[in-house]
Amino acid sequence: MAINIDIPDVGTRESRLGSITGYNGDLHDLVNKSQCGGLKNRDRCFSQSSSCNAGCALGQLSGIRDIAIINHAPSGCSAIAPDVNVANAQLSAKRGVTNSTVFIGTDMNEKDTVFGATKSLRDIVIETYKRYKPKAVFIGTSCVTGIIGEDVDSVVEELKKELPIPIAAVHCEGFRSRIWASGFDECDHAVLSTIVKPAKTKRNVINFKNFFESAREEIIDIFKNFDVEPFFLYQNSTVEELSRLSESLATVCICGTLGTYLGNGLEEKFGVPYVRTINPLGITGFETWLREIGNVINKGTEVEDYIAREREIYIPQIDAIKKELKGLRAVLGMGPGYTFEVSRVLQELGVEVVWAAAWHYDKKYDNGKVPPALDYLLENSPNNFKLSIADQQNFEILNILNKYKPDIYFSRHPGTTVWAIKQGIPALFVADEYMIFGYKGTLSFARTLLDTLKNRSFEKNLAARSKLPYTDWWYKQENGKFLREEHK
Amino acid sequence: MGKCIENPRTSCALGGALGVASGIERVIPIFHAGPGCGLQASIGQKTGYVGGIGCPSTNMFEKEVVFGGTQRLRETIEGSLEVMDGDLYVVLTGCTAGIIGDDVDSIVNEFKTKGVPIVSIDSSGFKGDTYYGYEATLEALVNDLATEHPKEEKTVNLFGIVPHQDAFWQGNFEEIIRILNKLGLKVNTFFTEHQGIETIKKSSGAALNIILSPWLLKNLSKIYKDRFGVDTFRYSGLPIGPTATSNFIRELSQKLNLDRDFVEKVIEEEEDYVYSHFEKNIGVVSNYRFIIVGDANTVIGITKFLVNDYSQVPLLAVITDDIPKVYHEKIENEVKNLEYGRKPKVIFEIDKWKIGELVREYEDEATLLMGSSFEKEIGDELDIFTTLVSSPITGSFIINKGYAGYRGCLTFLEDLYNNN
């Protein structure tokens, strides 16, 4: 489906990418159904609290420096504001820059749900502009504004005439999409449609979409070997820098789920090639990714030289640890941009993946193709492992852990690792998106994995004293019990 | 109230309701709300037996918005009863359910008539803030669960310390409970020492409700009085430090007719404990002219301690709770009811930017600013020594330290010196 940046909102992942949150089966079945188009979502008749696209959309945007996010919603929807403040203060200090971004809520109350609140929204945007002179304003919508039919787009059109800065509505009503990652696309859509300008020139820069740029220095050094500079977004980026995304040589992303809309949008609308390979996690991922970058920017020889040099340093060290990891069994629960990539890395390290759960699944990306990580696993996975798609349904994860009793559980969401720990399963929280990046990250990840397994004192003692909130009945059921039959 | 909420200090009604429901042992909250509400409402809350994203939820999407969500709620409750092991199931409604007008009560009643322990709370986020959710949930639980119970002369119910919203709630509870236990009292809080719904049921037999707040829980107090004849002793603000805590004890003892000599002996021991530490640590904490920003309980408690016990000078007190106007004068008088020193100016303000501008007016005079992590910014900008006493406190890891009572004031002084 072509990307259209001339309309105010982007379609959900369900409609654009055929994304699902309910599935129970195995690797081969999932990929085969994705390729032949037969994959359908299965709803749950019982579910636990999930997450909404607003968090992803506004969370991403709020990392941009010196802007204002106006969340047109009741107060609870702006609960992330204090955390945004902390993240922005710490991450900008780390970079040696400042970030004056403000996150403001319109605090909709009962009266507003009856009479609407577009006037107070207008007033708040204008007051915010007076107070802080932000470089751009992004107005988030919510379940409440969506249901009462608040015409935010018209407010934006009016304000555009009054204020000399880019203003965009970000349509992220919580009920819109089962896929919280739709929020990434809504954020990208707002940036593509209101901030990015056509290129006047080309620069030796590669757009690097990520979360918190923790491997910034390392990547700058790597890219120096190929005479290019990375530009990291959105955390710590400026509106001016984002307006020039079109001038870059290519776009890469640390996570396919995060990057699909921006990467494909920049390619389709502004001619910036999007590097779509498996992700730079683990050895194969890193090398495949680097080679494709070399290919796109015509630096193939330099990339090969770099790979040869680094291999000599790291591969023997990684091989040494692999001996200790061999035969371990793992369960994973992460966003799909990581589940399938980390499964591959674990297999590279000799760890057996017994169950992989992804919080959602994109049947294809915005270029119409199955995510590369799945193609890779279909060809290379030593086993056809079990697999489920569940929007962070903890009860299913704990059932899986109870049945398969793995040596370790991996997650990228702290809310699920704590429950595994309470159930006595050592868990590794893959918090940082660069935790497994490149050779160095892979080595460090292998060491951390070993550390997690070697000292289990906390899990053992805590589990002996904790009662989990699940019935014995539940642990005796199949984990997919509450999935309805496929929609026809 | 100000419609422009820059960095809200409280969550919505749903957040407050979740804080209460998940704070009671073996209670299973069930969200009838949007998919992201569980996550958003649990920001800043810790998970015990269950909480946040582990709670059952109908995750209302477009289909429920258009066609109604009652069938979805019914099946979610059915699933919860099978999967989740609990003593009470509490349905918490969010904005979506509230606006589309789902008849939640009739669904919940279907289960009630079958003997399922289940309650529903109208906690649509737009109804109010954390305090609204806290009050509504406590009222509903007491109304629904408490039954006539034999009087227990030495048992009190302790309310007003709001879970999670008071950044030091666990520690504050622990210290007040310690003191009350020392007076020979058993304490129902519902939120501590693994108290569960049995405690709520029997709370009707308590000799007295203690409400530590100048304004919260008027209806709850009425429910206890009208239905069970339990009186309420309201103490405005958190008792912090020897003067306030001893006052609190003396007033409480009169209400409960405790033996005066015994009570005075307890007070003497506790004051001696605090002053023996004061004595060894003289000259460590400087003299300050201070500004304090936070919830009513914290502002009253810390202002009184610093002025009445520690010779500090108050300049400005900003109360950041969204408190009905009728209580403003009472609260202002309480903050100004000091034994020594000049009286602070008292302002009710929620907006972070406006609070910053207020602080700016005292730039030349103030030497100490106490508030939330939000006030740290203006404090740093104006180079005023700033320490964190009110929510949100985003920079520190708090397990169970508290500022209440005798011992809490020592922790407070440590934090003040260490600039925590």
Containing structural domain, residue A377: 302-475
CB contact under 8 A, A174 and B37: yes
- The answer to whether the CB atoms of A50 and B100 lie below 8 A apart is no
Report yes or no: B306 and B314 within 8 Å, Cβ to Cβ. yes
Q: Domains plus CATH for chain B? A: 13-145 (3.40.50.1980), 152-273 (3.40.50.1980), 278-418 (3.40.50.1980)
Nearest to B28 among A146, A148, A469 (CB): A469
pLDDT in tens, chain B (420 residues): 346 667 789 999 999 999 999 999 999 999 999 999 999 999 988 888 998 788 999 999 999 999 999 999 999 999 999 999 999 999 999 999 999 999 999 999 999 999 999 999 999 999 999 999 999 999 999 999 999 999 999 999 999 999 999 999 999 999 999 999 999 999 999 999 999 999 999 999 999 999 999 999 999 999 999 999 999 999 999 999 999 999 999 999 999 999 999 999 999 999 999 999 999 998 888 899 999 999 999 999 999 999 999 999 999 999 999 999 999 999 999 999 998 878 999 999 999 999 999 999 999 999 999 999 999 999 999 999 999 999 999 888 999 999 999 999 999 999 999 986
Residue of B nearest to A68 (CA): B6
In this structure, the answer to whether residues A318 and A284 fall within a common structural domain is no
Reported residue count of chain B is 420
Domain count for chain A, please give it. 3
Q: Are residues A320 and A441 in the same domain?
A: yes
Together in a domain, A291 and A438:
no
Domain check: are A167 and A62 in the same one?
yes
Chain B contact present for A123, CB below 8 A: yes
Q: Is B268 on the interface with A (CB under 8 A)?
A: no
Contacts of A295 (CB under 8 A, 6+ apart): none
Question: Per the domain annotation, does A13 fall within a domain?
Answer: no
- Preferred mutation among B45, B65, B95 to probe A, highest tally of A CBs within 10 A: B95
Scanning B384-413 for CB atoms below 8 A from A yields 392, 394-395
Residue after which a domain boundary falls, among A231, A263, A297: A297
- Looking at the structure, tell me whether residues A462 and A353 fall in a common domain: yes
A114 touches chain B (CB under 8 A): no
Task: Check A52 against B39: CB less than 8 A apart.
Answer: yes
State whether the Cα torsion B182-B185-B189-B191 is positive or negative.
positive
Token digits of residue A194: 């209101």
Residue A314, preceding peptide bond in cis (omega within 30° of 0): no
User: CB A85 to CB B373 under 8 A?
Assistant: yes
Residue A402 lies inside a defined structural domain of this protein: yes
Same-domain status, A117 and A173: yes
Question: CATH number for the domain including A262?
Answer: 3.40.50.1980
Q: How far is CA A449 from CA A1, A407, A426, A436, A446, in A?
A: 40, 10, 10, 11, 5
**pLDDT score, position B2:** 45
CB neighbour class for B217 (10 Å; exposed up to 12, middle 13-18, buried from 19): buried
Contacts of B38 in chain A (CB under 8 A): 48-50
Work out the minimum CA distance from B4 to partner chain A, whole angstroms.
5
What's residue A367's pLDDT? Answer: 86
The 3-state DSSP class for residue A190 equals: helix
Surface-to-core class of residue B116, CB atoms within 10 Å of its CB (0-12 exposed, 13-18 middle, 19+ buried) = middle
Shared domain for A410 and A443, answered yes or no, is yes
Task: Look at B95 and A53 and tell me if their CB atoms are within 8 Å.
Answer: no
User: Which of B44, B49, B99 is nearest residue A148 as measured by Cβ atoms?
Assistant: B99
Q: Are A395 and A344 in the same domain?
A: yes
Residues A110 and A166 in one domain: yes
Do residues A352 and A243 share a domain? no
In a domain, A364, yes or no: yes
b/e map A273-302, b = 16+ CB within 10 Å: bbbbbbbbbbbbbbbbbbebbbebbebeee
* pLDDT for the residue numbered B342: 87
A482 assigned to some structural domain? no
CATH number at residue A409: 3.40.50.12380
A426 and A353 together in one domain: yes
pTM confidence score: 0.96
Residue A423: inside a domain, yes or no?
yes
Is there a contact between B339 and B316 (Cβ–Cβ < 8 Å)? no
Residue ending a domain, choose from A297, A321, A350: A297
The amino acid sitting at A122 is R
Cβ neighbours for A468, distance < 8 A, ≥ 6 positions apart: A398, A419, A422, A423, B85
Last residue of a domain, one of A269, A297, A325: A297
Q: Specify if A28 maps to a domain.
A: no
B285 touches chain A (CB under 8 A): no
Q: What is the ipTM of this complex?
A: 0.95
Q: How far is CA B140 from the centre of its chain?
A: 17
Whether A149 and A247 map to the same domain: the answer is no
Blockwise average pLDDT, block size 10, chain A, 488 residues: 82 93 96 88 95 95 98 94 92 96 94 94 96 97 97 97 98 95 97 97 97 96 98 98 98 95 96 96 98 97 98 97 95 96 97 97 89 94 97 96 97 86 93 95 96 90 94 98 82
- Asked if residue A6 is part of any domain, the answer here is no
Domain-located, residue A17: no
